[in-house]
């Protein structure tokens, strides 16, 4: 890390493309150590006139500088409830699923093209499970495999879907939130079963999504895809708005579940099944 902190931060900010933002964590990593994230935020607050300082946001998408909102909106960035939706142009959707066999996990990351939903790449990681299953603590158990699988993709997805919850979580912070912050990627939580919240009724079946509220605040949606009798639960993970998250889930769902997650789940099951058969044949 450059000993001249002000100069180093200014150089990093100058590299942020127009109409995009960077998190404090991303700037800190560019400086050489993610632990500098808090120092970056503090320094910007103390130096609000720093060129391009308005482009730096906190992990939840809130601009560090209070006066940055109007400038970001003038530049064409969308803010929802005071948070930047910085997904930008989306071309590649990622999906990651984790399966288990004994004390081993199979983490599969899949990337697909948003335009035609064709599969671009599949990455697989097999590793030992180091953390026990504890309800609502899934991130500690699955993230090491998720991280390794996503990093094996030759190109990072523009948005990553996680088989699990985001804000629709008793702590408002599920595995999709944790993975998004750790990977510095926009993430969406997609789950088959609810963990928290109350589904709000609507008169339209299947066509409309039902909002799911926790303490009176909409934290996600329950949506029933075509050819599926039960709803799936969609919520924000990191750096994306809830309407956009739901829209992407709808656009990428052809067969009961978002395509990237469906393929990741299928591959994980196939590998686990093949290994079971091989072990059986070896006896």
∠ CA 166-217-179, nearest 5°, is 15
Residue count of the chain: 283
Q: Do the Cβ atoms of 123 and 277 come closer than 8 Å?
A: no
Structure tokens at 218: 């909409």
The set of residues, in sequence order, having a beta carbon less than 8 Å from that of 67 and lying 6+ positions away, is 48, 54
Residue by residue, pLDDT tens for the chain (283 residues) are 445 888 999 998 988 877 788 888 888 888 888 788 899 999 999 999 999 999 999 877 889 998 888 888 888 777 766 777 655 678 999 999 999 988 999 999 999 999 999 999 999 999 999 999 998 888 999 999 999 999 999 999 999 999 999 999 999 999 999 999 889 899 999 999 999 999 987 655 545 799 999 999 999 999 999 888 899 999 999 888 898 899 999 999 998 899 999 999 999 999 877 776 666 555 5
Q: What is the pTM of this model?
A: 0.74
Domain architecture of the chain: domains with CATH: 5-85 (1.10.10.10), 92-273 (3.30.2170.10)
Kindly write down the DSSP assignment for every residue of 1-62, as one continuous string.
Answer: --S-HHHHHHHHHHTSPTT--EEHHHHHHHHT-GGGHHHHHHHHHH-TTSTTGGGEE-TTS-
């Amino acid at each position: 890390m450059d000993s001249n902190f002000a100069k180093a931060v200014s150089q990093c900010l100058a590299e942020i493309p127009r109409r995009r933002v960077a998190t404090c964590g991303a700037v800190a990593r560019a400086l050489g150590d993610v632990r500098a994230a808090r120092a970056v935020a503090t320094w910007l607050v103390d130096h609000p006139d720093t060129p391009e300082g308005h482009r730096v946001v906190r992990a939840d998408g809130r601009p560090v500088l209070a006066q940055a909102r109007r400038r970001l909106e003038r530049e064409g960035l969308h803010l929802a409830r005071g948070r930047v939706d910085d997904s930008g142009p989306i071309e590649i959707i990622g999906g990651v699923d984790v399966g288990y066999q004994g004390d081993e996990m199979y983490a599969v990351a899949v990337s697909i093209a948003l335009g035609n939903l064709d599969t671009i790449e599949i990455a697989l990681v097999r590793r030992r499970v180091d953390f026990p299953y504890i309800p609502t603590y899934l991130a500690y158990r699955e993230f090491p495999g998720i991280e390794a699988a996503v990093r094996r993709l030759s190109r990072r997805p523009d948005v990553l879907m996680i088989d699990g919850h985001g804000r629709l979580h008793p702590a408002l912070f599920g595995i999709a939130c944790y993975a998004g912050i750790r990977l510095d990627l926009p993430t969406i939580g997609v789950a088959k079963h609810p963990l928290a919240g109350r589904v709000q009724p609507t008169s339209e079946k299947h066509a409309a999504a039902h909002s799911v509220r926790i303490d009176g605040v909409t934290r996600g949606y329950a949506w029933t895809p075509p050819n599926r009798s039960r709803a799936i639960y969609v919520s924000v993970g990191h750096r994306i708005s809830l309407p956009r998250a739901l829209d992407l889930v709808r656009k990428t769902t052809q067969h009961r579940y978002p395509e990237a997650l469906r393929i990741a789940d299928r591959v994980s099951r196939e590998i686990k099944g093949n290994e079971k058969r091989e072990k059986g044949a070896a006896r």
